[in-house]
Amino acid sequence: EGVLKTIEDAYAKRFGRLMPVSAKGATAVHRSLGFDHRGRMDVAVNPDQAEGVWLRQYLESRGIPYFAFRAAVRGKATGAHIHIGPPSNRIRYAD
């Protein structure tokens, strides 16, 4: 998606390296947790360290929704990261 690419480019320009994307779209981990992660991206940075603070400010200044996880949250997050995009909806399976 264009917005996600723009964020990645801005991060690379600011820090001189690729953004540590841990998930772009749906992954096996998201499916195992029952989440539809399409159109979302997870970035493996601590939200309170320099890269995470910059990323949160960047997203806020552009009105881009995100969630900051400071640690693992049972059933929601495997560790510290920034989830970019709206919440991931639960996958509903037909009976």
41 in any annotated domain: yes
Do 46 and 89 meet the contact criterion of CB atoms below 8 Å apart?
no
95 in any annotated domain: no
26 in any annotated domain: yes
**Is-above-0.85 flag for pTM?**
no
Long-range contacts from 5-9, C-beta under 8 angstroms, 24+ separation: 7/41, 7/55, 7/58, 7/59, 7/64, 7/84
79 in any annotated domain: yes
69 in any annotated domain: yes
pLDDT score, position 78? 78
Residue-by-residue pLDDT tens, the chain, 95 positions: 688 899 999 999 999 999 999 888 676 675 666 676 677 889 999 999 999 999 999 999 999 999 999 998 887 777 899 999 866 766 665 55
Note down the domain range covering 40.
Answer: 2-90
- Report the number of distinct structural domains present in the chain: 1
